[in-house]
Structure 1
């Protein structure tokens, strides 16, 4: 049995989004985001499956008009550390550095189909 889901475009990537789930999205911290526990609306919906049996699927060309995914920004954080080591043999060249990727944790609440909203932060990339 399939749950209601949608395919959403964020940060140049496509995500399979199901309501009431958490997603860690990288590359969000470079953009301006609202503070934690604010509601964000995403309008780049590529596909939407409304019922459990998969018989009502809407496909956008390229996006569906009037549909929004509602998410709440839960946390901003750092991912696990990535170590990079460069070495050239016989040249005595060794270089070691690392970095931690930044991410934003989003909790997707629901799929909305209303065009006018108040007190929401609309994210249009």
Structure 2
């Protein structure tokens, strides 16, 4: 059994006990349980339910594992023969979730 769920504008395939790395959720504290009800597709055995736009009554229950920052990404701009160089970097914040249950 799996589901396609939308979290903060991104779509993830959620299976039981799967760990999902999603963009940072401000209200999520480690150990907290969250419910996501924007389930776009739900598959149970051979039956597939496709939502228009969401599957009614379906939701995903997930536990927050941790909040953190990813690896540093470097952005480098330059213009040839002009002496223009800019080097910037950033680290994206994320939240790790463990799917505990898929409710149909």
Same fold (TM over 0.5): yes
Equivalent residue of 2:75, what SS? strand
Runs of 5+ unmatched residues, structure 1: 114-125
2:32 to 26, 35, 38: 38
Shift of 1:34: 2.9
Shift of 1:112: 2.0
What residue is the counterpart of 1:108 in the other structure? 99
Equivalent residue of 1:62, what SS? coil
> In structure 2, what is the Cα distance between the partners aligned to 1:97 and 1:60?
41
Equivalent residue of 1:70, what SS? strand
Runs of 5+ unmatched residues, structure 2: none
1:50 and 2:44 matched: yes
Shift of 1:57: 1.2
Q: Which protein has the bigger strand share?
A: 2
What residue is the counterpart of 2:5 in the other structure? 8
TM-score by structure 2 length?
0.92
> In structure 1, what is the Cα distance between the partners aligned to 2:20 and 2:71?
16
CA RMSD, Structure 1 to Structure 2 (Å): 1.2
2:63 to 56, 72, 75: 72
Moved over 6 A (4+): none
1:18 and 2:15 matched: yes
Shift of 1:71: 0.2
TM-score by structure 1 length?
0.77
What residue is the counterpart of 1:88 in the other structure? 79
Report how many residues are paired: 104
Equivalent residue of 2:57, what SS? coil
